[in-house]
Amino acid sequence: MAKPGGSSSGGSGGSSSEPFSIGSQLLVLLSADSAALAVYSEGQLLRHKVHTGYTVRQQQGKAQATYERQGGGARSVGGSIRARETRRLFQAAAATLAGWEGDVAGCSLLFRSGSVRAWNELYAARSPPVPVDRRDPRWQPVGLSMRRPRLEDAERAFAALSTGTLWERLQ
């Protein structure tokens, strides 16, 4: 028996009276000096937070953590501040995600952007830990690069991820 307003043929030509639900999605956009986090529910921005930090060496344009990994070390007061800011930035991002644990658990898809090093820094933050495993199968790449993610970048990424074209195959 056909649903009211639906197609009795079972094909794709009819319309359904039940709206299509896209559920909730989490976007985590990371860079060396900022993190943009957003939760969308049914296509609407539910909550967001942007964390920034003084972590990039201004003259060299590299993150302090990268400089230290290459043998530079934090030998100056500025280097020590940048190293501390790097830890604070990713700790704050992890704390925000932990605070959103209920929303994150209800997300059908998790979208990520950022370098492997930035993700390593995020998951190195242990108190509180990130509420979702880095190997969770819901993680999908955003596919857009963002130098310093902000809310506008999260909105642009979500629009790109949630827009598509459906093609009907003609027989």
Domain map of the chain by residue range? Answer: 24-155
Q: What is the pLDDT of residues 77-103, one digit of tens each?
A: 877 788 888 899 999 999 999 999 999
Global pTM value: 0.77
Rounded Cα distance, 154 and 27, in Å: 7
CA terminus-to-terminus distance, the chain: 26
Our answer to whether residue 64 is catalytic in this structure is: yes
**Which helix (H) or strand (E) is 122 found in, with range?**
helix 116-124
Catalytic residue among 25, 60, 64, 91: 64
CATH architecture assigned to 24-155: 2-Layer Sandwich (3.30)
Cβ contact 104:23 at 8 Å: no
Q: For position 64, what pLDDT does the model report?
A: 58
Residue 88 burial by Cβ neighbours in a 10 Å radius (0-12, 13-18, 19+): middle
pLDDT of 7 higher than 60:
no
Rounded Cα distance, 79 and 7, in Å: 66
